[in-house]
Structure 1
């Protein structure tokens, strides 16, 4: 008989670590990326161990209809939302977020 998961004490420590890390962003503005390319910004009001999130004052960043993984400058207000944890791909603080050029895509050179 084999045990398929980590020892209970290790699993509990991992959940506690995740909770304390995300807890630093309570009542702060965060940007959340979801599977399928959707993105939203809002104030983190709560979360659980499954990464379900409660965001207040949420604004969705509209996707480009031609390329669903490209975000346009257009937004829409959603207000208070509950985000399903299984769809969350990334959570980052809004204040310290900075977009950089993708180093894996060759930039067009002008001659």
Structure 2
């Protein structure tokens, strides 16, 4: 099988680290990089295969959601203060403490 040359550029320190790791692995730099890239590609492909069904479900749900009409804004007095606290806690679980802070029925 004919081989193809790929040229890469990197800083000297990084190149030296790669050479040292290749040497410790008993490989030349080319074989080491091909091995590392092949292993990385296999990991990514395995993850993509593992999540392909859920990714399709998410894509379908997003497409369906995009076709739905927008909900009307809730009047400010629709939620009690306790309900607002519960909604805020739920949003923090989903988005983290730094996520969206506007609650339904409140001014953004």
| TM-score scaled by length of structure 2 | 0.23
Instruction: State the structure with bigger RCO (CA 8 A, min sep 6), 1 or 2.
Output: 1
Higher helix residue share: 2
Give the number of the structure whose alpha-carbon radius of gyration is greater: 2
Higher strand residue share: 1
| TM-score scaled by length of structure 1 | 0.22
